[in-house]
Amino acid sequence: MNTPSPEQAASREETFPPGTAYMDGRFCPLSEAKISILDWGFLRSDATYDVVHVWRRRFFRLEAHLDRFLSSVDKLRLRLPFGREGLRDILIECARRSGLDDAYVEMVCTRGRSPTFSRDPRDAVNRFIAFAIPFGWVADEDQRRRGLNLAIGTVTRIPPQSVDPTIKNYHSLDLVSGMFEAYERGADNVVLVNTRGDIAEGPGFNVFAVKDGALTTPEGGVLQGITRQTALELAAELALPAAEAPLSADALRGADEVFITSTAGGIMAVTRIDGAAIGDGRPGPVTERLTELYWEKHSDPAWTTPVE
């Protein structure tokens, strides 16, 4: 690949999505937010993050995302220069300044770097970054309408004994190689298995199977997705039985319905596994009812926080 000229580099800069960032104590346009290449977050994936979305200028389940992020920061022995209130204010201000109606608001805390270049992580000065960018979907419009074709990857998801998946992290080489494998096999996306061969999760989403009206989602070894939790709460509201339990690949293939859950799109139907139809090959009634309810909650003050 040729090295871009300064002019080409500058024009790439202009292709940044619109958005607002916060770093080093100030708000700036997204294109101006840059970190040192010596930051441990970049060199060692020593960082945690969270993503909350804004829909029609209201945050969805902001407090749940703050809980998860603050717990991840704690578990990694990172430190933020402010508390929960300060964090909430920065996220709201990022969303407000971005002017976006539907946005992704990401918060990141990296180990940072050590002023003395020490290799001891305790010497590093932690860094906090936040940004608001346009909302993006795990599945495109066509995939959402027809339902996704998911491949069950041959790569094993990083086990929880190695990296605690309840800490939202950027360790995703397993998921990315799984995505390439899925594309080569003609699928839209991938779901990885755990060390026991049971279903784990995919890049940016959790998985649910519906059988005889009851929901199952993998219990451990996965990120405790906020949308996963939301789907469990919505199922309770609809009086549908739901369990967090091991889910085998065969149980997934033999389900009546399958769906994924993600901040990047909510509840989305899966209608094929490795090309084979789930049920009649169309998004099923339970998935559709949950999806409808999920979007209804986006205007409910109990589940949302206004940007203004």
Binding site for ligand PLP (CB under 6 A): 201, 204-206, 223, 225-228, 261-263
Q: CA nearest 20: which of 115, 103, 144? A: 103
Token pair recorded at residue 167: 């800490």
Task: Tell whether the torsion through CA atoms of 220, 66, 174 and 249 is positive or negative.
Answer: positive
CB of 263 to ligand PLP, least distance (A): 3
Give the three-state DSSP class for 257: strand
- Residue 287: partners with Cβ closer than 8 Å, 6 or more residues away: 210, 257, 259, 267, 269
| Smaller CB separation from ligand PLP, 95 or 124 | 95
| Smaller CB separation from ligand PLP, 163 or 243 | 163
| Smaller CB separation from ligand PLP, 42 or 170 | 170
CB of 207 to ligand PLP, least distance (A): 9
CB of 66 to ligand PLP, least distance (A): 12
CB of 180 to ligand PLP, least distance (A): 17
Closest-CB residue for ligand PLP?
Answer: 225
| Smaller CB separation from ligand PLP, 124 or 291 | 291
CB of 275 to ligand PLP, least distance (A): 23
CB of 70 to ligand PLP, least distance (A): 14
CB 269 within 8 A of CB 284: yes
| Smaller CB separation from ligand PLP, 158 or 255 | 158
CB 20 within 8 A of CB 98: yes
| Smaller CB separation from ligand PLP, 78 or 207 | 207
- Residue 54: partners with Cβ closer than 8 Å, 6 or more residues away: 60, 95, 100, 101, 102, 103, 104, 105, 132, 135, 307
CB 100 within 8 A of CB 53: no
Q: CA nearest 283: which of 145, 189, 149? A: 145
